[in-house]
Amino acid sequence: MRYIIVGGVAGGASTAARLRRLDEHAEIVLFEKGSYISYANCGMPYYIGDVITDRNKLFVQTAASFKDRFNIDARVLHEVTAIFPDQKLVQVKNLQSGETYELSYDKLVLSPGAEPIRPPLQGIDSEGIFTLRNVPDTDRIKSYVSQFPNGKAVIIGAGFIGLEMAENLHNLGMHVTIIEMGPQILAPVDFPIAAIAQQHIRSKGVDLRLKTAVTGFERNENGLKVLVKDSMPIDADMVILSIGVKPDTRLAVAAGLELGSARGILVNEYLQTSNEAIYAVGDAIEFMNPITHNSMPTYLAGPANKQGRICANNMVLGNKQTYNGSINTAIVKIFDLTVAVAGVASKHLTAAKIAHLVSTTHSGSHAGYYPGSEQMTIQINFAPADGKLLGAQIIGTDGVDKRIDTLSSVIQRGSTIEELMEFEHAYAPPYSSAKDPVNMAGFVADNILQKRLNVIPWSAVSNISKEDILVDVRAPLEFIEGNIPGAINIPVDELRDRLSELDQNKNIFIYCQIGLRGYLAQRILLQNGFKSVQNISGGYKLWSACNIESNLIESSLVV
Ligand code: FAD
């Protein structure tokens, strides 16, 4: 039995190692067109930023160690140039010698990954414009950066890799500009979470320009100019293009394998392509999203590695183990903040016409009385019919990772917000509170679901009319330091005594700083005869971040 694997990094290397563990006697040949196999592409931005100082640490395995440990014939600098499915052959080019040869397979695995998108813009091939996908890219960028210790870097695209590069280049002393065509950073999260992150990025002195389209590049003796629509060109010593990736399907298409609607390699639940002897994993495939039921690629290392294991199991043991799809659980460090996401954002649920409710809570990472507690913001999206959890997003500093993993697990199992309320966590003051932020998210969501708490999103504040009453229930000092225009201030602790100041026949809108006092105020009013009482979800904290950010975009004050 001969297994051939195309691509030797996350999905490919993981498949190969699992194959060997299951079948000691098979011949396993892994082709990698680059110079390295099984390297940590996720670590590359941090190596460029000198956080990881030892380049060797990026390499999990080498071709030699793969041979010694797993008896796998890993051939680097060997590109598979064609597949002949009828003859079960691959054509391979040795990139060092130029020799081309063919090799037969019993089963073939494709894990060629995704390729960075490079739009055909004027001057895009100029010196100093980089994409980051592999080790040679990393070496090129690192060497270039060292020539411009205090230089200007322009990052195009504010996704995960773009933001990681922005932080790392900034920390090296470069002046960083981020250009993003969309109205917010980080497309997988909703605007309120992005808005908090955007403010943090700006606070670091990074020039963040949203809704800005790059139209081309010019190079002269002074460096690069990044040309942007309706604005002055931006000077740069270097440019990182991180505007997204697309599945590398060139081999698959040439071999006549079917692609899906999202232009990834189509696989069944056993990760088998339209040809039964060929399996495929990783960034190159598309698979049905378990929540939206839309077929889509997933560009994440975890799913690629796990698919590799499943695919190897199915090839050796027969098609028994199914892949259930990815809910795109992801996390990114943005300077001092962490943003994490699992499941589907509200805007994408809306686009997929999936009814949902949204709850936003701000909770301490651990007990407030124990030093170092930091607030995190959790947004969850859930089904109005049964409370099924559909998506979660968190921004904060400490403890974001463990909360998102808990929420991800609930989403993956198709479970509900009830489980969040019951979730039993390990508690001592340095680690959490008696009610964990995950519990709090569940309690508030349940109040919304049971209609004990009526909320409106920050964006609906602009619809509050002069006839309505907007009440800030925070302390007077908090009110003076900043409030929503048009609000009156009645602190929650005085509300019972000042009910007569409010007209019961009017719509009342309430907010506090983070939502808790607003909820208490709403309960007081509803139980005192007020009929229409709404709480502004996420409180003043969320409203002000969103308001500032959306005004910056709309008035083009972003400089
Ligand atoms: P890859 O790991 O990209 O491997 C594909 C390999 O196939 C490549 O080495 C390529 O050279 C080779 N190949 C392609 N065609 C051929 C051919 N014809 N013949 C031979 N070889 C071929 N994901 C996360 O979850 N968390 C992170 O923090 C994270 N950070 C990232 C940071 C960076 C800078 C990058 C680039 C990616 C990051 N990712 C992260 C994404 C993650 O690395 C990918 O999702 C994952 O590596 C996909 O695995 P894969 O096997 O499909 O493709």
Atom in ligand 1 nearest the alpha carbon of residue 34: 11
The reply to whether ligand 1 has any atom less than 6 angstroms from the CB of 39 is no
How far apart are the C-alpha atoms of 283 and 26, rounded to whole Å? 26
With helix as H, strand as E and coil as C, how does 57-96 read?
HHECCCHHHHHHHHCCEEEECEEEEEEECCCCEEEEEECC
| Residue 80 CB less than 6 A away from ligand 1 | yes
Query: Ligand 1 mean position to 283 CA, how many Å?
Result: 7
Regarding the beta carbon of 327 and ligand 1, being less than 6 Å apart is answered: no
Annotation says 512 is catalytic: no
Tell me the pLDDT of the chain averaged across its residues. 96
Mean pLDDT of the region 428-448: 96
Ligand 1 centroid to Cα of residue 147, in Å, is 28
Q: For a pocket test of ligand 1, which of 18, 31, 38, 42 has the largest count of ligand atoms closer than 8 A to its C-beta?
A: 42
- Single pTM value for the model: 0.95
Axis crossing angle, helix 63-70 with helix 10-22, rounded to the nearest 10:
20
Residue nearest to atom 36 of ligand 1 (CA): 133
CA 278 to CA 256: how far, in whole Å? 12
- How are strands ordered across the β-sheet holding 223-228? 214-220, 223-228, 234-236
> Which of 479, 480, 522 shows the shortest CA–CA distance to 502?
522
The response to whether residue 167 sits with its C-beta less than 6 Å from ligand 1 reads: no
Q: Is the CB of 74 within 6 Å of ligand 1?
A: no
> Can you tell me which atom of ligand 1 is nearest the CA of 31?
20
Atom number, ligand 1, closest to the C-alpha of residue 37: 9
Tens digits of residue pLDDT in 190-233: 999 999 999 999 999 999 999 999 999 999 988 999 999 989 99
Ligand 1 atom nearest 299 alpha carbon: 45
What is the Å distance from ligand 1's center to 41 Cα?
7
Residue 465: pLDDT over 70: yes
pLDDT band of 388, cuts 50, 70, 90: very high
- pLDDT one-digit tens code per residue, 505-558: 999 999 999 988 999 999 999 999 999 999 999 999 999 999 999 998 876 544
110 pocket-lining for ligand 1 (C-beta < 6 Å): no
Q: Is 70 exceeded by the pLDDT of residue 559?
A: no
Tally the C-alpha atoms within 13 A of residue 139's C-alpha that lie toward its C-beta: 8
Residue 176 contacts residue 168 (beta carbons within 8 Å): no
- Say if residue 210 is exposed, middle or buried (CB neighbours under 10 Å; 0-12, 13-18, 19+): buried
Instruction: State in Å: Cα 167 to ligand 1 middle.
Output: 21
Q: Tokens standing for 151?
A: 């230089």
103-106: Cβ within 8 A, 24+ apart: 103/2, 103/4, 103/29, 104/2, 105/2, 105/3, 105/4, 105/277, 106/1, 106/2, 106/3, 106/277
The predicted model gives 384-393 an average pLDDT of: 97
Q: Is the shortest distance between the CB of 82 and ligand 1 below 6 Å?
A: no
159 and 186 in contact (C-beta within 8 Å)? yes
Contact 495, 521 (CB under 8 A): yes
